Structure 1
Amino acid sequence: MRLLSLFTIGFLLIYAEGFCQKKYQKVYFEDGTLKAQGWLEGSEKSGYWTFYHPNGVKQKEGHFKKGVASKYWYFYRQDSSKEKEGHFKNGKQHRWWLYFDSMGHINHKCQLKNDQKNGYCLIYEKQKLIKASKYQNGKKIKEWTDFSSFRKENKLSDLK
């Protein structure tokens, strides 16, 4: 009986390992340049992945959970400058996203929910805040160009 139990446990471990095994994968463009690399769990992307532009420069990097983008991601232009970064939830942009100009400075940051602006957007020019807007389900509902009026009408804790 003990031998049968050990055999059953061994079989189940081998069976489970075959279906849940994580492996590292590299994908290449037709010319042999690296296109993407990261972990697969079964046939789905899992864990950290990095993608590349055809010129070899990093394009984006972040986490997958069961084949869906999750957690924090970074995006880069073909010249390697940062383009944007932010959170994903269930494969959709969520929470604060930062957008960068070609010099690497933030030119705006927005609160998003389900890939739509939903909350505040802060607009910068020459590294100075010049205006703020509020969105609801992707539609602008209010805009401020001075900090005092913004502060009177809003709770700063909403910016977290």
Structure 2
Amino acid sequence: MRGNASKLDEQGKLRNGAATFFFKDGTLESAGDFLDGEKQGEWKYYLKNGKLKAVGKYEAGQLSGEWKWYRENGNLMQIGSFEAGTQIGLWKRFHPNGSVYDEGFYENGKKAGEWKVFSDKGLLVKTTHHRISKFEAGWVSEA
């Protein structure tokens, strides 16, 4: 999450401590903490309608740990983890109705192993197999 958060405060010094940023219309855009000018700890990002858009942590300015993204209606859209700003581990995306759209693993920021795609009714539609240097695909069924 980039946002428009500046590393420098109004006096031109590196930011430290709690910070909040707002859209031009005055609604809250994001909130979190800075340490030596870098985002640190939990940050929350908001949609213009005031609902939560994303929440997760930073370490030394890089995405870290579990992150969650939400739709305008508040339903979970995606969940996954980062290590030093790189995607790792299990990731899932969700259909608007809340059922799993796809799921699989990341290694060093790239899809790895088996990824599954599901219909909005939860039926397996496709399985793909990813290798770091090669991609193989196999269709399971059309739902």
| AA at the equivalent of 1:111 | F
Is contact 2:91–2:105 with CA below 8 Å preserved after alignment? yes
Is contact 2:16–2:37 with CA below 8 Å preserved after alignment? no
- List, as ranges, runs of 4+ consecutive aligned residues in structure 1 with deviation greater than 4 Å: none
1:31 matched residue in structure 2: 25
- Cα distance in structure 2, aligned partners of 1:142 and 1:32: 47
1:128 matched residue in structure 2: 123
Query: How many Å apart are 1:108 and its aligned residue?
Result: 0.8
TM-score, L = length of structure 2:
0.79
- Cα distance in structure 1, aligned partners of 2:69 and 2:131: 25
| AA at the equivalent of 2:97 | M
Structure 2 counterpart SS, 1:127: coil
State how 1:41-120 maps to structure 2 within 5 Å: 41-120=35-114
Alignment size in residue pairs: 128
Query: How many Å apart are 1:73 and its aligned residue?
Result: 0.2
Q: Which has the higher helix share?
A: 1
Bigger relative contact order, structure 1 or 2 (CA pairs below 8 A, ≥6 apart):
2
Percentage of matched positions with identical amino acids: 27
| AA at the equivalent of 1:143 | G
TM-score, L = length of structure 1:
0.71
- Cα distance in structure 2, aligned partners of 1:89 and 1:120: 21
Structure 2 counterpart SS, 1:132: strand
* Structure 2: gaps (5+ residues): 1-14
* Structure 1: gaps (5+ residues): 1-20, 147-160
Distance 1:133 1:80, change over 3 A: same
Query: How many Å apart are 1:114 and its aligned residue?
Result: 3.4
Bigger radius of gyration: 1
Q: Which moved more, 1:94-103 or 1:120-129?
A: 120-129
Q: Which moved more, 1:94-103 or 1:125-134?
A: 125-134
Is contact 1:116–1:138 with CA below 8 Å preserved after alignment? no
Is contact 1:117–1:138 with CA below 8 Å preserved after alignment? no
- Cα distance in structure 2, aligned partners of 1:118 and 1:111: 6
